[in-house]
Structure 1
Amino acid sequence: MRTFDSILPYLRKSYGRIIGGIIMLILVDVIQLIMPKVMQYAIDSLQARTIDQKGLFWVAMLIVAGALSMMALRYFWRILIIGNSHKIERQLRQDFYDHLMSLSQNFFNKSKIGDLMAYATNDLNAVRMLFGMGLIAAMDIVLMTLASFSFMGTINWKLTVLAVLPMPLLPLAMGTFGKKMHVAFRKVQASFASMSGAIQESISGIRVVKAFAQEEAELAKVDDVSMNFVKRNISLARITGIFHPFMNFVINISVIITLFFGGRAAIRGEITIGEFIAFFQYLGMLVWPMMAIGWLVDMYQRGTASLQRLNDIFVLKPEITDANADQSITEIQGAIEFKNLSFRYDESLPWVLKDISAGIDSGQTLAIVGPTGCGKTTLIELIARIYEPPEGSILIDGIPVDRIPLQTLRQEIVLVPQDIFLFSESLADNIRLADVNASMEQVYEAARIAQVYDEIMDFEHQFDTVVGERGVTLSGGQKQRVAIARALLTDPKVLILDDALSAVDTKTERYILESLIEARKNKTTIIIAHRISAIQHADKIMVLGQGDLLEKGNHESLMAQKGLYYDLFEKQRIRARLEGEEG
């Protein structure tokens, strides 16, 4: 993708506003260019005594009218051009976020939050500046420079040639410093992303930091990335610190030349005093465009560097799409079948699941058990197509999972993960996340099934209690139960609990599962659990071991086999008895 390809659609949509703003800007410049001629006329007329008080009054009124017109026109071009740049930034940010939401889990596994935050803040701000003030600077540079030179030439072409002699140094400077600024700014943006990520990670993990007394270590880490950010900015400042003063130096040389040779021409009578003052005013008008060249180069390098960074994200395609989906499928019943399912996250990595074949009918409860790292979570994530399973290896209602639209899968299958995330909002809003129109009675009922209703009612603000960042004010068990209530409120055809009751006690876990199974009659439920006592009443149980399906059946048949399931059950039963005796 070429640098500007991603921004062109936004510019086309706002074509009218941009053209309108440019017209206003041109009118301002035209009025501004006329003013020195008005001053020249007034001064030369006064010197020649060819103007009276009435004439001076109308000249003054013309200058006032010009100033008021420029003020009004400047207001409108700012609204049109600067306002439009903010609209482009907002729409670009929205599309960037939408694109992120379309990307697969693998992208987020490899990306840092700080990097993504830098894209959504600093990079978009640099793009806004390029197509706001950058566009204005570009127009002023072209129009004011050419027009000022033309007017100066009509006054005295020799003086104009002398005044512009230093100007060729400007493009030379731009060529020398432009590329360096571009590279330096990309490094600044990258270091900003690293710093943002380090700070965000440190704050998010503050409990762990304090628990292990790692405050000094975290402070040192943040200090290191902050210092790197400072160094990158200083490197950029060294370049711009030479570039901008050099631009001013060139302009000042032109001013000195004009003052000396123009003053001498006025003394000799080669030009009038009015022409000398007008010439100086036109030269003064060149100061902004000449300085703006440096500013524009800076903004251009920053803006294009940021656009390139954004393009690196926009060119990414989601790994999981609806390419093979039948859009007429809008609901499922919940029968699930695994057919010789083997999976690994990358060709260079070992197999996580190996030749899994099993299935459950719609409305049944499936439990999945096995040691840590045996592939349980991967298996259920493949059902929901969080990762892409091999073609034909997972069927839902007899249909390959990739034939079912993603929207249908997301609506009909709800996964409660191990790592619970709650938003810094009220408990009611967290539970209503997937159904904002749900009534409070529905929220209460979901909380009752999840066995968290009574505890919430004990809070001072009950369901209006704001839980803090990631639910920090709640215990682990409370967070898990709120997440289960959130899932129950959507009443999905398939509910998957990925060890989502690990933080509650055995008694509460049993109550929750009994209530849940009763409430979800005729709907499919999949439970991953470490405590076998909690899932022994499941219709079917799968026992995994290092990616292999070792056993399958119900509790009674698996106990009769006296395999891994039997061993796990007996160990947990003995442990529970010993803990009971100790208690």
Structure 2
Amino acid sequence: MEEVIKETSKITTLKRLLRYVSSYKWKAIGVIFLLLIVMGCNTLNPMLMKVSIDNFVGSSNVKGLLGIGLALVILNLVVMILSKIRILVMSKITNQVLVDIRHELYTHIQTLSFSFFDNRPVGKILSRVVGDVNALQNLLNSSIVNLIPNIFTVALVIVMMMILNVKLAIVCLTVMPILFIAMFLIEVKSNKRWRKYRDKRSSLLGYTHEAFSGMKVIQGFGREDYARDKYEEHLNQHASGFMHAVKLQDTFWPVVDICRGLGIAIVLLTGYKLTTGDNLSPGTLMAFIMYIEMLWRPIMNLSAFYNAFITNLSAAERIFDILDTHNDMELKASSTALPKIKGKVTFENVSFSYEDDETYALKDADFILKAGEKIALVGETGAGKTTITNLISRFYDPSKGRVLIDGTDIKTVNLESLRSQMGIMLQDSFLFSTTIKENIRYGKLDATDEEIVAAAKAVNAHSFIEKLENGYDTNVNERGSRLSLGQRQLIAFARALIADPRILILDEATANIDTETERLVQKGIKKLMEGRTSIVIAHRLSTIRDCDKIFVVSDGEIVESGKHEELLKKKGYYYNLYCAQYSFLKEA
């Protein structure tokens, strides 16, 4: 699915982009100053040539010619040195600006709610952070290096041409309207084509990331040919999008060259007539021709800037589109930090819909969890169990009603202060591609090695970690692929324990652990739950029998609640679930 990007004014986009340069304004001003000196020196060359032809060539004044030659050498040597300095400083500015934009983009993405990630594949987000930011390099270089200095050069050259000969200057400028009209017509369609190309590139990166992440599934089902064909389809769309854009863009330079050639031809023809009438000296005509070349050089540089602007504008628009995306959970600037909590959780008539419509994943949930209670959520897949935990963690905000912790509406507190007091264990525990020690320390960044070992021992992970080649310094590889599913879960338990959360959420946390390992880890789980409000989601009803209360969720509603024995006596929904699971195990 192609992304919808809000269109904005090109000038607004450029101004916003140039704001990032303001942090380095003095260096940028220095670069512009160097460029102006270079441009000024370059404009003196034709004048020195005019003086040498009109004053010294005809009179065979060798001494004068040598003086002019020495002046030209010194002048161009200065130009060369200043140009090298300018290129070095400009490269540093551009690279630092790209770092700033990429850092701001990454930092902003971290603040966005889950709904943002629900609607975008990871590959498409990566396309913005990496590809689109890189595309801005040429645009930034062109903006500072080409825009201001070349506008100044065009103005200066036109003034010099007017001083030399007004008629020739006016004749020379007659081709400019043709060039501007052609550039405008090309730009109208070009920007749309480049935006479409970047959407295709984003889709290609999105599918590539997804395919590599799911490579075990592709190979497990023998679907390599199917995956290759899908990749080829995205690749062909990407290539055709590029060719469609570049074909139009390639007409840009021929138009510039035609106008340039036409302008020179008109000037030569007019100049010939003026020289034959003794109204124009040969030196003046030579200087004028040199000025024409000097005029078209900045015009071509400005055209290059315009070309880069059109080509890469869509990249800037896509970056600003994300930066303009706000967290839809109405974060308030006045939000205060949530003090240390006891763990009482209250749902007041809470309803929630993932699609902002009347299809509710949770309907009118109204209950209280006392601090330190162990609560279980059971029900069929999609009943709304995980939705309840998502709302407690404030990954989403309720469509109706309120969620309170210790009597405080969690909408009014700082997210970090809320989530730092919560521990969340999922069925597929994510591990970072670093050492086991660093993965456990993620729960408490200042944890000592002794605390890490103690946490691992508490959840019975220490024994298998010690058997690994490098023990706690063993690198788990990407997503923990070096370890079994059960081992990953145990490390995630240690990470949650060391964080010392006040509210603990276990979402099918033991689903990937074999029976023998589960027996070992149950003691660790009990230790993890001690003194904390614990919410457990489990399909294996045998794992929740000791909970203080069990909520039975069906079709987004809490249909039953009570202890294990109480619910069995009711012979209702929970009783049927328990009997069905017991019968299945007995048959097996």
TM-score, normalization by structure 1: 0.91
Counterpart of 2:383?
374
Per-residue CA deviation, residues 157-183 of structure 1 (Å, 9 max, x unaligned), is 444444444333211111111111111
Counterpart of 1:389?
398
Q: Secondary structure at the match of 1:526?
A: strand
1:392-471 equivalent positions in 2, closer than 5 A: 393-471=402-480
Q: Offset of 1:30 from its aligned partner?
A: 0.3
The Cα RMSD (Å) is 2.7
Counterpart of 2:371?
362
Q: Secondary structure at the match of 1:132?
A: helix
Give me the whole-angstrom Cα distance separating, in 2, the residues matched to 1:325 and 1:99. Answer: 19
Counterpart of 1:29?
39
Counterpart of 1:331?
340
Deviates more, 1:523-532 or 1:508-517: 508-517
Q: Secondary structure at the match of 2:509?
A: coil
Equivalent residue in structure 2 for 1:541, among 544, 550, 553: 550
Give me the whole-angstrom Cα distance separating, in 1, the residues matched to 2:221 and 2:95. Answer: 45
- Structure 2: give runs of 5+ residues left out of the alignment: 1-7
Q: Offset of 1:143 from its aligned partner?
A: 2.1
Q: Offset of 1:574 from its aligned partner?
A: 4.6
Residues 333 and 433 of structure 1: is their aligned pair in 2 closer, same or farther, counting only changes over 3 Å?
Answer: same
Counterpart of 2:28?
18
Give me the whole-angstrom Cα distance separating, in 2, the residues matched to 1:395 and 1:176. Answer: 58
Q: Offset of 1:11 from its aligned partner?
A: 4.4
Give me the whole-angstrom Cα distance separating, in 2, the residues matched to 1:526 and 1:226. Answer: 46
Contact map agreement 1:155 1:271 (CA 8 A) in 2: no
Give me the whole-angstrom Cα distance separating, in 1, the residues matched to 2:274 and 2:460. Answer: 95
Deviates more, 1:195-204 or 1:421-430: 421-430
Counterpart of 1:478?
487
Give me the whole-angstrom Cα distance separating, in 2, the residues matched to 1:328 and 1:141. Answer: 52
Deviates more, 1:269-278 or 1:396-405: 269-278
Give me the whole-angstrom Cα distance separating, in 1, the residues matched to 2:413 and 2:270. Answer: 81
Give me the whole-angstrom Cα distance separating, in 2, the residues matched to 1:302 and 1:568. Answer: 60
Equivalent residue in structure 2 for 1:154, among 156, 163, 170: 163
Equivalent residue in structure 2 for 1:344, among 342, 346, 353: 353
Residues 18 and 70 of structure 1: is their aligned pair in 2 closer, same or farther, counting only changes over 3 Å?
Answer: same
Q: Offset of 1:404 from its aligned partner?
A: 3.3
Q: Secondary structure at the match of 2:226?
A: helix
Give me the whole-angstrom Cα distance separating, in 1, the residues matched to 2:335 and 2:94. Answer: 40
Give me the whole-angstrom Cα distance separating, in 2, the residues matched to 1:374 and 1:537. Answer: 22
Residue 298 of structure 2 is aligned to residue 280 of structure 1: no
Equivalent residue in structure 2 for 1:112, among 121, 127, 133: 121
Give me the whole-angstrom Cα distance separating, in 2, the residues matched to 1:485 and 1:426. Answer: 14
Contact map agreement 1:367 1:542 (CA 8 A) in 2: yes
Residue 86 of structure 2 is aligned to residue 77 of structure 1: yes
Equivalent residue in structure 2 for 1:38, among 36, 48, 63: 48
Deviates more, 1:466-475 or 1:229-238: 466-475
Residue 196 of structure 2 is aligned to residue 187 of structure 1: yes
Give me the whole-angstrom Cα distance separating, in 1, the residues matched to 2:364 and 2:489. Answer: 32
Counterpart of 2:3?
none
Per-residue CA deviation, residues 132-190 of structure 1 (Å, 9 max, x unaligned), is 21332222432222222333343344444444443332111111111111111111111
Residues 350 and 328 of structure 1: is their aligned pair in 2 closer, same or farther, counting only changes over 3 Å?
Answer: closer
Residue 520 of structure 2 is aligned to residue 511 of structure 1: yes
Counterpart of 2:563?
554
Q: Offset of 1:249 from its aligned partner?
A: 1.8
Letter in 1 for 2:447: A
Deviates more, 1:66-75 or 1:228-237: 66-75
Deviates more, 1:484-493 or 1:56-65: 56-65
Counterpart of 1:86?
95
1:57-68 equivalent positions in 2, closer than 5 A: 57-68=66-77
Q: How many residues align?
A: 578
Per-residue CA deviation, residues 246-278 of structure 1 (Å, 9 max, x unaligned), is 211221233344555556766887655544443
Letter in 2 for 1:24: L
Identity of aligned residues (%): 29
- Structure 1: give runs of 5+ residues left out of the alignment: none
Residues 379 and 65 of structure 1: is their aligned pair in 2 closer, same or farther, counting only changes over 3 Å?
Answer: same
Deviates more, 1:156-165 or 1:480-489: 156-165
Contact map agreement 2:425 2:496 (CA 8 A) in 1: yes
Contact map agreement 1:126 1:299 (CA 8 A) in 2: no
Q: Offset of 1:379 from its aligned partner?
A: 0.7
Residues 390 and 67 of structure 1: is their aligned pair in 2 closer, same or farther, counting only changes over 3 Å?
Answer: same
Residues 29 and 564 of structure 1: is their aligned pair in 2 closer, same or farther, counting only changes over 3 Å?
Answer: same
1:485-524 equivalent positions in 2, closer than 5 A: 485-524=494-533
Counterpart of 2:5?
none
Equivalent residue in structure 2 for 1:240, among 239, 249, 257: 249
Deviates more, 1:24-33 or 1:304-313: 304-313
Q: Offset of 1:459 from its aligned partner?
A: 2.2
Give me the whole-angstrom Cα distance separating, in 2, the residues matched to 1:372 and 1:216. Answer: 33
Counterpart of 1:316?
325
Deviates more, 1:519-528 or 1:216-225: 519-528
Give me the whole-angstrom Cα distance separating, in 1, the residues matched to 2:278 and 2:75. Answer: 30
TM-score, normalization by structure 2: 0.90
Residues 442 and 90 of structure 1: is their aligned pair in 2 closer, same or farther, counting only changes over 3 Å?
Answer: same
Q: Offset of 1:82 from its aligned partner?
A: 4.4
Contact map agreement 1:181 1:298 (CA 8 A) in 2: no
Contact map agreement 1:510 1:534 (CA 8 A) in 2: no
- Which contiguous aligned blocks of 4+ residues in structure 1 show a shift greater than 6 angstroms? 263-269
Residues 489 and 325 of structure 1: is their aligned pair in 2 closer, same or farther, counting only changes over 3 Å?
Answer: farther
Give me the whole-angstrom Cα distance separating, in 1, the residues matched to 2:402 and 2:299. Answer: 66
Give me the whole-angstrom Cα distance separating, in 2, the residues matched to 1:304 and 1:274. Answer: 44
Deviates more, 1:369-378 or 1:85-94: 85-94
Give me the whole-angstrom Cα distance separating, in 1, the residues matched to 2:276 and 2:448. Answer: 88
Q: Offset of 1:305 from its aligned partner?
A: 2.8
Letter in 2 for 1:427: I
Give me the whole-angstrom Cα distance separating, in 1, the residues matched to 2:366 and 2:491. Answer: 33
Give me the whole-angstrom Cα distance separating, in 2, the residues matched to 1:511 and 1:39. Answer: 92
Counterpart of 1:292?
301
Deviates more, 1:221-230 or 1:85-94: 85-94
Give me the whole-angstrom Cα distance separating, in 2, the residues matched to 1:423 and 1:128. Answer: 31
Q: Offset of 1:231 from its aligned partner?
A: 1.1
Q: Secondary structure at the match of 1:341?
A: strand
Give me the whole-angstrom Cα distance separating, in 1, the residues matched to 2:22 and 2:326. Answer: 24
Letter in 2 for 1:376: K
Per-residue CA deviation, residues 97-138 of structure 1 (Å, 9 max, x unaligned), is 222222211111112323322322333334443332133222
Q: Secondary structure at the match of 1:111?
A: coil
